[in-house]
Amino acid sequence: MQGGHAEGTDAKGGFQLRWLLACLLGFSIGGAVAGAMILTGELATGVGAAPPSAATPALKGALILALVVAVAMSVAGAAIGLAQWVVLRSRLTGVGWWAPATAGGGALIGFVLGALGGALFSGADFGPLGSAVVDILGALAIGLPPGALQWLVLRRKAAGTGRWLWAHFVGFFVANGCALVVMIVVAQATGWSLPSAQTWALGGVLAGALYGGMTGPRLAQLLRRRFPGFALEKRYQGATKIAAQ
């Protein structure tokens, strides 16, 4: 009973704090690197770094910026996923794919948003209905891919993991939405480029803190409902028995 109580207390308190700090670290470092990569890519290709024009064909602009942002966001996702994995692996076994899943989700976010941004930069006119579809796709792209791939890692390790999809989506969408507003205001006030390492690092600090604070309680609940075969202490007990033999 005492062990279970200690585990529950850690999940509610210590784990959530470590998760928040990991998210803050991963989002800020990943944001800084991704912001610098996207700005460099835009300047090198000429897509997205100047006022919109029809000089670049819409399809070409979409493809160029999609690839640039996909690579940058995969790096950001890897940084976030690695920081989160360090904390998550202390409470759950079999989560080695967490960082690659988060990186893959980041790449999907980057590809969709980059393609939409590149097309708009190149003067594409989607019309009223098309613009609405673009907005919906952009909103879904921001939140769903990383959460869906992370769910594949969690789904057979605890009960009720489907709720992680919604927790991640809401947390990721709200956190990045708030961070975007702050980045725009700061960029206008300071003259910093958007994107850039400075603005995205600042946004990452805010987004990481908000996301970690919003998703930590839900993840702690899932960990308390994990299946016995994936409890960390189970692995340690097995290793102890083998060593004793």
Write down the residue that tokens 């409902």 correspond to. 225
Task: Give the pLDDT confidence of 207-228 residue by residue, as tens digits.
Answer: 999 999 999 999 999 888 887 7
Task: Give the pLDDT confidence of 7-44 residue by residue, as tens digits.
Answer: 443 545 699 999 999 999 999 999 999 999 999 988 88
Task: Give the pLDDT confidence of 96-115 residue by residue, as tens digits.
Answer: 999 999 999 999 998 988 88
One-letter amino acid at 49 equals A
Which tokens in the block code for residue 50? 């100047």
One-letter amino acid at 147 equals G
Does residue 171 register a pLDDT over 80?
A: yes
- Reported pTM: 0.83
Q: Which of 202, 232, 175, 179 is nearest to 20 (CA)?
A: 175
Give 122's pLDDT tier (boundaries 50, 70, 90).
Answer: low
Domain ranges of the chain: 2-244
Q: What is the pLDDT of residue 56?
A: 59
Does residue 6 register a pLDDT over 60?
A: no
Which tokens in the block code for residue 153? 């890692």
What is the DSSP-derived secondary structure letter of residue 145? H
Which tokens in the block code for residue 108? 């999907």
